[in-house]
Structure 1
Amino acid sequence: MLAESPPETEQSAPPPVARPRHAARAAGLLIALAVLALVAVASIAVGAKPMSLDEVWHGLFHYSGTVNDVVVRDLRVPRTVLGVLVGLGLGLSGAVMQALTRNPLAEPGILGVNAGAAAAVVSAISFFGAATLDEFIWWAFLGAAVVSAAVYALGGSRSATPVRLALAGTAATAALVGYINAVQLMDTKALDKLRFWTVGSLASATMDTVEQVAPFLLLGVVLALTLGRPLNAMAMGDDTARALGAHLTRTRILSMTAITLLCGAATAACGPIAFVGLMVPHLARLVTGPDMRWVLAYSAVLSPVLLLGADVIGRVVTRPSELQVGIVTALIGGPVFIYLVRRKRMAQL
């Protein structure tokens, strides 16, 4: 007589390691959200103008039009909200770009995407009289899309290696930065508009800015977060991804669309900010492993933490003036980039 088969509940039980690992990742994400909330509070409470917590509270909930109230409600709150949105855009675009190219050095700033968006906006201001964010956004989208496609082609397209893509992006960035500087020198009227914007700054944020870029950034965020599963399949190689049912062309098109939306809107809002999209996905992988669904989720939370933290540091270290957030992220990101390049076992993604 045949032995009875084990109960169905025992057969369908998940591996014993899966649930603890999932719980640990979820707990880590909740901790990251709590840190983001604390940094957002610090962004509102701390700035170039010292204020007590009572004054900050009054500006938030008992607005009466005083100077301190205006600083809190009309300057710091929009700046914090925009910092969260732009951080989301930069971190997610970097994570998607690294997964799409299987290049651990891929990042919108390093691969020239931010510089392309910036060059397009500078051209629009100087040659076509663009003066509003509504116009900047579309030019930034165009520049981001053109340069990302050009760098990908110059780096070898599907046969691209991390070093070739980094070199192509560096060359494109150098050429575009030279072009931007030349335009600024030739057009002194546009110089005042561009001098803070081109180094990356949240200082001019308003709620109008937030309202104009938020739809594009949020659309890019939603699109990027839906790409975790197909990007996981693509990480195993094109042939394996096809065998698993992934649509490679569709995934590449959607990924490039998400990158263009995120980088274009973020750059139009506050200028090119480098290294955020490079550092945060690597930090996320240290916690989550290679699963892109978790890498994207962690990048979406940790990138605003980094950007807002850098902005707060820039406001405090040079009081009563400010150090632009793009400079602070570059000072932090430069050594990180050198470390990643010099790693003996720099993995291709």
Structure 2
Amino acid sequence: MSAPQHTAAPSPEFDLIRRHFVRPMRAAALGPGDDCALVSPSPGHELAVTSDMLVAGTHFLPDTDPRRLGWKTLAVNLSDVAAMGATPRWVTLALSLPGLDHDWLAAFAAGFFDCADTFGVDLIGGDTTRGPLNLCVTAFGEVACGRAVRRGGAQAGDRIWVSGQPGRAALGLAELLGRLTLAPAARADCITALEQPQPRVALGAALKGLASAMIDVSDGLLADLGHIATASKVSAVVEDAALPWTALDAACSDRAAVRDALLAGGDDYELLFCAPPAADAALAALSARLGLALTRIGHIEAGQGVQLVDASGRSMPVARRGYDHFS
């Protein structure tokens, strides 16, 4: 009698990957399913590589809509690539999951791939394990050799700019936590800014040759500007009156909360950059072309550190500059 033939059933882990995360590749020779992905950067280009981890209860609320969470998990990494002036190409995804919930995974994957399709990136691999909910992406972007915009290029005389409307995400989080009540017309917008941020990929790419230094606003405007000041060995001066207050004041009547959200809230993923005055006209044209506000908020001078000043140039006290995981 011949021995019975057995067909090995796919493991739940590999079935999870196949069902939710295997898609046709755009620009990779080999994606998920082997020991390594295979990609071929273009001649004359460098890879910009970044990793970011999102932990439940720290980076997002446990009941966040999984589709929005999928978008955000990828978007925050693409924002880092954009902050170098690079074009995102490939990403890997590592998931720690408390259990196997295919409905949750399907919604998460839909949001993740919505973002991937919007910005033209391939998911080329990663890992899954069981444990507390934890999401980690590594993103790879391409930029021409020597053209990446770094944090360390700001010079005295440069102007400081920020894109969009920083502060909305922090106000959205405060609303969800019950710390304040936003105006009804602003509530959905601020929560969307928190849960579904828009990485400024087109802006970052267009700022090559215009910006002298750049970073994305993840931990707080003043804290992240401090990274530019430190790397560039300069002093950054932020002018209180020049900051984009209007929309935030309309969203929330608590000016102290608005001030904290704008200066220290973070989670905006707007681009914060420096550029010489000669770039003003080009930046105005770029703002119009992208339909995206670019606000000049201060200037760079010799010295060190970051200070907030009033209309008379006097230094203003700042209660908090940003988020620090270990403070």
Higher helix share: 1
Length-normalised TM-score, structure 1: 0.24
Length-normalised TM-score, structure 2: 0.25
